[in-house]
């Protein structure tokens, strides 16, 4: 991709635009950042709208939950006519479009796939939903019933992460016990006017970004977006995650238990824990190098060599050699709060402490010796391949581009990153491992499910299960250690498909 520095005026509705080969960027008067990317020959246009939506204010948690479920179920068109869910679904079908919403720990993301000729119509429909929403009491009642039927308590894997982050980084919205989940009484008592008030504050262009990937010239796409969304105003909402109190985690140990006799099962596709069969869990949190940092590539390869793929060193040690774990992973997590390395293992009950010891031993060995040349080359090949196959479809490409845009990375960041991966030396990877994989700089959290109560004898009732919440117990570790951090996906992910069908 060839980069140019020229600044062009795209339309009267956009303040400025920067073009760069196959992309063009603009900022609309309301503050919406727009990035248009050219996808030659693509039969579909892909749109991704990312709106700051962090659950930082407990008083808003119930309204945030229901607004995400009800967005797109009603609107008023430009003539002032009320538009129902069915009207919206019919209009989307006529355009050949599918809408969905995703809520993460810090964003509300609207995704649209539409046949290329339907792009102008979809932008008009999007304008109706964003600028003139309608939250009907019937739709709200349906959302309240669904919320009442959904589990309210977080699963062990989620609680373990919160406990580890709380010990490592201190009090924060990501570490709150409720994690942004509203009490059911608050949810069922909401009215339509509450959602309209939150929409006016939160669903705003200030601080938001829109990516459009289409088989049209980027400048033409920017003009189309400006014509239809220039009247959308408001924000920023302030619903963004604050930075962690500490730049890197405070080392130590955390133990989490409960009396349910059930542990956390494998994560499902939406990022929630299944019921599972009472697994022991271990989660270690350590310092990391953020994606945008020039030193990220060596750290990335060290992290992959540790536990980034099925044959990485940690998996060979705890799963293949010792048979302690069913699932092993190590990856970077990034949010607006900060960045951290997260190592996760799940195994049979009673093995959490042994797993934690083996993780520490593997980290200490890798930090002291560094990965072997073969491990470095395997990690490099995996990372380079992933940057290709993770973008195998236009939809994945649009989502990745939206992620880069939301955190301020350039459109061609991934191409430049491939070149950086190729240039990393084994010595640089060893240095990154020594700096960031020291177990004495990590907080390690373990979860052990208590054994289920034995079946009652005939004629004797079972003892009631304890109802109190699990309590994390912090065990002091070595003092805080230095380093630097920042951003990536996070915690719970709620996926509401087909909200506009």
Q: Please give the pLDDT value at position 257.
A: 78
Token pair listed for 446: 């373990």
Beta carbons of 313 and 292 less than 8 angstroms apart: no
Interhelix angle 296-307/413-423, rounded to 10 degrees, is 70
Q: pLDDT value at position 208?
A: 97
Which alpha helices (DSSP H) does 326-393 contain, by range? Answer: 352-369, 373-389
Token couple for 290: 């953020």
Contact 313, 362 (CB under 8 A): yes
Distances (CA, A) of 201 to 60, 67, 237, 366: 11, 12, 6, 48
Q: Could you give all domains of the chain from N- to C-terminal order, each with its CATH number?
A: 7-155+168-239 (3.30.830.10), 252-451+463-492 (3.30.830.10)
Residue 36 CA to residue 410 CA, distance in Å, equals: 12
pTM of the model: 0.82
What's residue 387's pLDDT? 86
Computed from CA positions of residues 302, 304, 307, 313, in that sequence, does the dihedral angle turn out positive or negative? negative
| Pair of tokens at residue 253 | 């140990």
Q: What tens digit of pLDDT does each residue of 60-75 get?
A: 999 999 999 999 999 9
pLDDT of residue 116: 97
Provide the 3-class DSSP secondary structure of residue 219.
helix
Q: What strands lie across the sheet with 209-214, from one edge to the other?
A: 7-8, 17-20, 23-27, 33-38, 209-214, 44-52, 107-115, 97-103, 494-497
How far is residue 89's CA from residue 498's CA, in Å, rounded to a whole number? Answer: 9
Q: Greatest CA span in the chain, whole angstroms? A: 83
Tens digit of pLDDT per residue, the chain (501 long)? 333 332 333 333 344 445 445 899 999 999 999 999 999 999 999 999 999 999 999 999 999 999 999 999 999 998 889 999 999 999 999 999 999 999 999 999 999 999 999 999 999 999 999 999 999 999 999 999 998 888 778 889 999 999 999 999 999 999 986 666 778 888 888 999 999 999 999 999 999 999 999 999 999 999 999 999 999 999 999 999 999 999 899 999 999 976 443 333 333 322 333 433 489 999 999 999 999 999 999 999 999 999 999 999 999 999 999 999 999 999 999 999 999 999 999 999 999 999 999 999 999 999 999 999 999 999 999 999 988 887 889 999 999 999 999 988 888 888 899 999 999 999 999 999 999 999 999 999 999 987 765 555 555 554 444 444 434 433 333 332 222 223 333 333 333 333 333
Residue 76 token pair: 């008023």
Instruction: State the pLDDT at residue 21.
Output: 53
d(CA 22, CA 36): 8
Task: Judge contact between 471 and 278, C-beta under 8 A.
Answer: no
Contacting residues for 381 by C-beta, under 8 A, at least 6 apart? none
Confidence at residue 316, expressed as pLDDT on a 0 to 100 scale: 96
């Amino acid at each position: 991709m060839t980069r140019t520095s020229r600044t062009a005026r795209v339309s009267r509705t956009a303040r400025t635009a920067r073009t760069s080969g196959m992309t063009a960027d603009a900022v609309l008067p309301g503050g919406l950042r727009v990035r248009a990317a050219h996808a030659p020959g693509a039969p579909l246009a892909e749109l991704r709208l990312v709106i700051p939506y962090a659950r930082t204010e407990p008083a808003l948690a119930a309204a945030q939950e229901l607004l995400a479920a009800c967005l797109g179920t009603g609107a008023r068109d430009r003539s002032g006519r009320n538009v129902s869910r069915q009207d919206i679904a019919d209009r989307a079908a006529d355009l050949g479009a599918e809408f969905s919403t995703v809520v993460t720990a810090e964003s509300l993301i609207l995704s649209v796939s539409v046949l290329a000729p339907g792009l102008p119509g979809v932008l008009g429909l999007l304008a109706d939903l964003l600028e003139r929403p309608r939250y009907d009491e019937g739709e709200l009642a349906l959302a309240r019933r669904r919320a009442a039927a959904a589990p309210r308590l977080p699963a062990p894997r989620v609680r373990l992460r919160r406990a580890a982050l709380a010990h490592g980084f201190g009090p924060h919205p990501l570490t709150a016990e409720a994690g942004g989940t509203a009490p059911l009484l608050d949810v069922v008592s909401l009215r339509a006017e509450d959602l309209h008030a939150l929409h006016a504050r939160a669903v705003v262009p200030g601080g938001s970004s829109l990516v459009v990937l289409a088989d049209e010239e980027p400048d033409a796409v920017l003009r189309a977006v400006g014509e239809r969304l220039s009247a959308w105003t408001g924000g920023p909402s302030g619903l963004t995650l604050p930075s962690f109190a500490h730049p890197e985690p405070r080392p130590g140990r955390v133990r989490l238990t409960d009396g349910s006799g059930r542990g956390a099962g494998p994560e499902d596709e939406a990022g929630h824990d299944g019921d599972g069969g009472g697994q022991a869990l271990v989660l270690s949190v350590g310092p990391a190098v953020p994606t945008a940092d020039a030193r990220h590539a060596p750290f990335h390869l060290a992290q992959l060599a540790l536990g980034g793929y099925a044959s990485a060193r940690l998996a060979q040690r705890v799963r293949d050699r010792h048979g302690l774990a069913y699932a092993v992973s190590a990856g970077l997590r990034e949010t607006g709060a900060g960045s951290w390395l997260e190592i996760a293992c799940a195994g049979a009950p009673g093995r959490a402490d042994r797993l934690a010891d083996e993780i520490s031993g593997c980290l200490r060995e890798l930090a002291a010796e560094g990965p072997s040349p073969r491990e470095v080359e395997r990690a490099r090949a995996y990372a380079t391949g992933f940057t290709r196959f993770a973008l195998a479809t236009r939809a994945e490409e649009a989502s990745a581009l939206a992620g880069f845009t939301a955190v301020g990375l350039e459109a061609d960041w991934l191409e430049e990153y491939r070149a950086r991966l190729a240039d990393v030396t084994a010595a640089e990877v060893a240095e990154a491992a020594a700096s960031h994989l020291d177990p004495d700089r990590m907080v390690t959290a373990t979860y052990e499910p208590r054994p289920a109560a034995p079946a009652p004898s005939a004629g004797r009732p079972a003892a009631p299960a304890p109802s109190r919440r699990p309590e994390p117990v912090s065990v002091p570790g070595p003092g805080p250690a230095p380093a630097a951090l920042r951003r990536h996906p996070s915690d719970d992910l709620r996926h509401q498909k087909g909200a506009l069908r």
